[in-house]
Amino acid sequence: MLNKFSWKELVVLLIALLPGVYLYHIYPSLPPTIPTHFGLSGKPDGYGGKETLIYTTVLLVGLALGLYLLIKFLPSIDPKKTAGLSATTFQKIAVGLVIFLTAINILTMYASVAGSFNFTRLLFPLMGLFFIYIGNLMHSLKPNYFVGIHLPWTLEDPDNWRVTHQLGGKLWVAGGLAVTFCTLVLPARTAGILFLILISLMVIIPVVYSYRYFKKTNQPK
């Protein structure tokens, strides 16, 4: 099994396991009760036993590893063979997902250790950086049934797919920059509301644009 992975891929898999190492290191020093949920303001609004951190860590590590392995082997299990057209881009997305989920995992544990730590003060900028990363990869995605902006008209028309993902990529980069900057400088609650607005725009605008492109290119001549 290991001979199917390059040394770079093995490094990525090891990164996904880092939260487990961190939890093992800090677990004896954790208080019996820790923050388990954080409100929009970033302050803890839910508490539980420290053993809940084990379940959260295992879940996020499993999710990171599962998504990485799924994306890695998509080209070989895709019956329509569309995934292979974007294999390199898929690999970059998989690496980004592992790093992103690992960072969230460690951030969650650190927030539990610190107690008064403002969780969203780093979570939102982290998500902004992830949006920038994915936005830079969108234009490289070829039509497929697994990753991308999946709409009936993008899947049926390669030109619609291309222009939609070009626009989506630019919006995700711009939106990610706005999220990163605004959530670092604005009050936590204001930043949370702005985050939700920006995310909505990043999703809705490409969908509307794609539909309008479909209607325009399918008008009776």
Task: Tell me which H or E stretch contains 110.
Answer: helix 87-114
The single-letter code of the amino acid at 20 is: G
CB contact at 8 A, 120 and 42: yes
Instruction: Check whether 3 has a pLDDT greater than 60.
Output: no
Say how many domains are in the chain: 2
**What does the block give as tokens for 110?**
């650190």
Give the end of a domain, one of 95, 118, 141: 118
CB contact at 8 A, 75 and 69: no
Is residue 59 located within the same domain as residue 146? no
Is residue 19 located within the same domain as residue 58? yes
Q: Which long-range contacts (CB under 8 A, 24 or more apart) does 54-58 make?
A: 54/23, 54/27, 56/105, 56/108, 57/19, 57/20, 57/23, 57/105, 57/108, 57/109, 58/20
CB contact at 8 A, 90 and 75: yes
The CA-atom distances, in angstroms, between 125 and each of 57, 132, 216 are 21, 11, 37
Residues 155-182 as b/e (b if ≥16 CB within 10 A, e otherwise) read bebeebbebbbebbbebbbbbbebbbeb
The predicted pLDDT at position 185 comes to 86
Q: What is the pLDDT of residues 128-158, one digit of tens each?
A: 999 999 999 999 998 888 888 989 989 889 9
**Upper half-sphere CA count for residue 67 (Cβ side, 13 Å):** 21
Regarding pTM above 0.75, the answer is yes
Segment 111-137 shows an average pLDDT of: 83
Is residue 199 located within the same domain as residue 219? yes
Is residue 139 located within the same domain as residue 177? yes
Q: What is the pLDDT of residues 165-216, one digit of tens each?
A: 999 999 999 999 999 998 888 887 788 888 899 999 999 999 999 999 999 8
Lowest mean pLDDT among 22-26, 63-67, 109-113, 150-154: 109-113
Its domain, for residue 125, covers 120-221
Comparing C-alpha atoms, which of 97, 126, 105 is closest to residue 26?
105
Is residue 1 located within the same domain as residue 73? yes
**Upper half-sphere CA count for residue 206 (Cβ side, 13 Å):** 28
Is residue 30 located within the same domain as residue 91? yes
Is residue 217 located within the same domain as residue 196? yes
Q: What is the pLDDT of residues 74-99, one digit of tens each?
A: 877 777 777 667 888 988 999 999 99
The predicted pLDDT at position 39 comes to 65
Query: How much of the chain, in percent, has pLDDT values that exceed 70?
Result: 87
CB contact at 8 A, 58 and 206: no
Give the end of a domain, one of 93, 118, 143: 118
Instruction: Check whether 2 has a pLDDT greater than 60.
Output: no
Is residue 49 located within the same domain as residue 33? yes
Give the end of a domain, one of 96, 118, 140: 118
Is residue 54 located within the same domain as residue 127? no
Is residue 178 located within the same domain as residue 200? yes
Could you tell me which residues are beta bridge partners of residue 48?
34
Is residue 180 located within the same domain as residue 124? yes
**What does the block give as tokens for 22?**
């961190």
